[in-house]
Chains A and B, each alone.
Chain A
Amino acid sequence: MKKVLVLLLVGIFVTVAFAGCRTAEKAPVTLVFAKGDAVRLDPADVTDGESITVMDNIFEGLVQYKPGTTEVEPNLATSWEPSPDGLEWTFYLRKDVKFHDGTPFNADAVVFSFERQRDENHPFHKYGQWDYWGWCFGEIQKTEKVDEYTIKITLDKPFAPFISTMAMFTVFVVSPTSANEWGEQWFSHPVGTGPFTFVEWVKGDHITLEKNPDYWGEKAKIDKLIFKVIDDPSARLLALTKGEVHGMEFPNPDDLKNIENNPDLQILSKPGLSIGYLAMNMGEDTPGYQKELGDVRVRRAIAHAINKQDIIDYLYKGTAIVAKNPIPPTLWGYNDAIQDYDYDPEKAKQLLAEAGYPDGFKTNLWAMPVSRPYMFDPTKIATAIQADLANVGIDAEIVSYDWGTYLDKTDNGEHAMCLLGWTGDYADPDNFLYVLLDPDSATVGSAGNVAFYRNPEVHRLNMEAVSTFDPATRAELYKQVQVHVHEDVPWITLAHATQILVFRKNIKGFVLYPTGDYHFNATYFEGEG
């Protein structure tokens, strides 16, 4: 009996071993990238970066960001124009495009992709929650077909940032044929027009894409793109060091030195669309208001008292750059002419004395209980700031709550000073300067502007900028907003976190986008096709 079993096992092994020798064709050029798993692959129905960075390669929108920048350029639309009153936008579509399933790309596909999100009576509406549509596209009244290759979008108010929002993943165009075929399950069978087609998704393990041989634009340089799920950053780095994967996202800050010293690896980094800041409560109608912080000299003193560079070097561990403006330098409209307040405790003491507080004062400093992409370890950052303030005589007590309560209470203005930050939804200064610093956003109880900074001039400039359609003029207006913010110091702008990707040395052509998107169409292996 035992002998039979052994023979059987040996038999199986031999068969199996030989069965393995059949495959010997030329392997396709495959790039494996390690990251977290996607949640859903319907571009209009996700809120997480892990899903978006996969779909960037499968889908396309009417417009796109120029590689590596935040400037909008044509993509599936060749051109567009707003009506003089800014309420109607007409888009002229490309005529030579097909979806991966063969469906022709045309006005019907665009109308389907947008209307399924907006129109509650649309047959596809029930299959999604369409969160981002509600958050960023509320101004769209309707999307209509004008002719086979022209569409018209009607807004309820003139809104210049609209064109920036059209580059978001939410408005990627999807194949109506395939969406209707799969219905509720479409989110795991994505079909778009992009440079890669979807092959398979083994949940928790990997997602495989293949080069789209019929792509209308410049075709991808690799044959296969595999997103391998490795959740732990240390394990990712091991796999990359060994060459099992060719690229990875978000290494541990502590590993950066090792990576730099490894001749096989390269680091790509770029400030993302984010800001981490310390807001000082200027709202006299808020419960947390302190008259000291209502004095601009005190706020400037604080700006001089805090050593930002040390915070970046030792607490962000080099994964951020010092912020001198509320918007990151990778966003158009950034005012580089502004001179940041330098670290100068003596000047700070002098300013405090001028303001009538030569011996400082008591206040509170709120620290977020969680690390966010724009702020690693807020408690340590708060401690560092506390020490810097103590150095000039300001006695700040650190306060913290659980995250939900923290957001509620800061919206209510119960703090004197609080740490917070923001990651932009789309690349437009309006998404920072209006949402975070406009008087409109400074309503006690639901404030995005937690400094309760209410400068009417800032409001005027913001409003003018959303109803002006010339990008250069808009950039100029936002530069002026930044001048006001610099002079009034509602915030100490601390840091713009950088997104960090690591690749093997022989991987070329990958460009980081400030928005955190991953496009692999131009990526190639050095020395191969």
Chain B
Amino acid sequence: MRNYILKRILNLFFVLFMVSIIIFLLLRLAPGDPAKVIAGEHASKEIIEEIRIRLGLDKPLITQYFIWFKQILRGNLGTSIRSRDSIMKELLLRFPNTFELSVFAMIFAGIIGFPAGIISAVRRYSFLDYVSMFIALLGVSMPVFWLGIMLLMIFGVKLDWLPIGGRLSVYIPLKPVTHFYLIDSLITLNGRAFFDTLKHLILPSIALGTIPMAFIARITRSSMLDVLHQDYIRTAKSKGLPQNIVIRKHALKNAMIPILTTAGTTFALLMGGAILTETVFSWPGIGTYVVQAVYARDYPVVQGSVLFIAFLIAVTNLTVDILYAYLDPRIHYQ
């Protein structure tokens, strides 16, 4: 087990190393010179050259890469070309925003997707099954951008139940402690901020959670169907156990592993910043940060953020894998 974990951690570093090379190269291959973007039309050659030197863009690619790589090894993601602020600081500041939204999106996805999947499996080929699987299909195929705008139009503007975007109304003061607004408002006993934050979370959570919800529903259904055909279920049924006990105690537990994997991976992806959802709902998270950086050709920010996201995903996956070993004694890692 220990060897396995060690190997996986080494593996993780290798993955991050490859990601760093790929993102570095991709950015350089994309057209557009950051020096030109900064200097604008008709800037003289000298000015552009001066900016290139200042940004280190005059050096050969290999040198540029190793300068960056050495920085990363020291835990320094560098500074933004535009704001010249520390990228790590900026990412850590935005991470709680993205995390809070991801958690709520997953809660939404689980609350709807999980029972829908179970019902579909237990009542296979029933009307309920068709309805929930149709919704799941719709959920996967719906463009998030469109869904977000529709939710805003209906619940934000027409019905006027919920706010249009952001994390907290600008009128409501909140002292940041952890930067998780729900926790901060609880700590500081700020009720207005607490409920206002909740209200702000609802629509983006639905928009962001719809695809994971559909995934979870489908995977729950197929995994449950698998288990329901096993011998031990037939045994349990023939023993005369009531249906709900069979499903809750025997089937569900065994069906959990693939569901957990899906949920875990999806959650990791959400934490990487949901670019579309964050843009539609003006959510100051990692996604919007990266998009702005791409527009501005802010290489270090894009590189740093992608690496940060890759790190989050890799660590989450590793954690899920290790958890298996404890959840399911049959799984052995060589």
Instruction: Spell out A's residues near B (CB within 8 Å).
Output: 12, 15-21, 23, 27, 30, 32, 37, 39-40, 47-48, 129, 131, 134-135, 187, 202-206, 208, 226, 228-232, 234-235, 238-239, 241-242, 244, 372, 402-405, 407, 411, 420-423, 435-436, 445-446, 448
Contact = CB atoms under 8 A, between A and B. Distances in A.
Contacts of A420: 41
B80 to A, nearest CB: 9
- Interface centre among B32, B94, B165, B194, by most A CB within 10 Å? B165
Given A404-B32, A422-B41, A242 B156 contact: yes
B31 A203 contact: no
B167 A205 contact: yes
A205 B167 CA distance: 8
10 A-B pairs with least C-beta separation = A20-B191, A204-B284, A402-B31, A16-B191, A20-B192, A448-B42, A239-B164, A19-B191, A230-B282, A404-B33
B163 A244 contact: yes
Given A47-B38, A203-B93, A206-B170, A238 B54 contact: no
B186 interface: yes
Given A16-B189, A231-B291, 18 more contacts: A16-B195, A19-B190, A20-B190, A20-B191, A39-B83, A47-B38, A129-B84, A203-B90, A203-B93, A203-B284, A204-B284, A229-B284, A231-B288, A232-B279, A234-B149, A404-B36, A420-B41, A446-B44
A232 B280 contact: yes
Interface band, chain B: 35 or more
A320 B285 CA distance: 34
A68 to B, nearest CB: 25
Contact of B156 (A135, A238, A372, A436): A238
B84 A40 contact: yes
Contact of B157 (A228, A232, A241, A372): A241
Contact of A229 (B31, B189, B282): B282
14 contacts: A15-B191, A21-B191, A23-B192, A32-B170, A129-B84, A203-B94, A203-B284, A231-B282, A231-B292, A238-B164, A242-B157, A244-B164, A404-B36, A435-B42
B185 interface: yes
B114 interface: no
B97 to A, nearest CB: 8
Contacts of B185: 16
Q: Secondary structure at chain A's binding surface: helix, strand, loop or mixed?
A: mixed
B284 A403 contact: no
A524 B152 CA distance: 28
A205 B284 contact: yes
Contact of A403 (B31, B47, B90, B189): B31
B18 interface: no
A30 B171 contact: yes
Nearest to B148: A235
Contacts, number: 129
A435 B43 CA distance: 10
Contact of A16 (B84, B168, B170, B186): B186
Contacts of A435: 42
Contacts of B280: 232, 235
A204 B190 contact: no
A448 B156 CA distance: 48
A30 B191 CA distance: 22
Nearest to A206: B170
Contacts of B149: 234-235, 238
Contacts of B289: 204
B164 A242 contact: yes
Contacts of B41: 372, 407, 420-423
Contacts of B267: none
A231 B94 contact: no
- Interface centre among B40, B45, B90, by most A CB within 10 Å? B40
Given A16-B186, A135-B47, A203-B93, A402 B32 contact: yes
Contacts of A32: 170
Contacts of A47: 38, 40
A202 B284 contact: yes
Contacts of A134: 47
Contact of B152 (A20, A235, A372): A235
B82 interface: yes
A204 B33 CA distance: 25
A254 B156 CA distance: 21
A405 B36 CA distance: 10
Contacts of A48: 82
B94 A404 contact: no
Nearest to B166: A205
Contacts of A40: 83-84
A448 to B, nearest CB: 4
B318 interface: no
B226 interface: no
B289 to A, nearest CB: 7
Interface in B188-241: 189-192, 194-195
B160 interface: yes
A525 to B, nearest CB: 15
A49 B158 CA distance: 33
A241 B45 CA distance: 46
Contact of B42 (A20, A232, A422): A422
B37 to A, nearest CB: 8
Contacts of A230: 165-166, 282
Contacts of A17: 191, 195
Nearest to A227: B170
A208 B173 CA distance: 11
Contacts of A21: 191
B108 interface: no
B299 interface: no
A17 B167 CA distance: 19
A262 to B, nearest CB: 12
Interface string B120-143: 000000000000000000000000
A266 B293 CA distance: 32
A23 B292 CA distance: 37
Contact of B189 (A15, A37, A231, A234): A15
A238 B84 contact: no
A200 to B, nearest CB: 10
Contacts of A12: 186
Contacts of B42: 407, 411, 422, 435-436, 448
B21 interface: no
B153 interface: yes
Interface string B289-317: 10110000000000000000000000000
B170 A208 contact: yes
Nearest to B82: A39
B99 interface: no
Contacts of B94: 203-204
A235 B165 contact: yes
Given A20-B192, A47-B38, A242-B160, A235 B170 contact: no
B24 interface: no
Contacts of B40: 47
Nearest to A435: B42
Contacts of B83: 39-40, 187
A131 B38 contact: yes
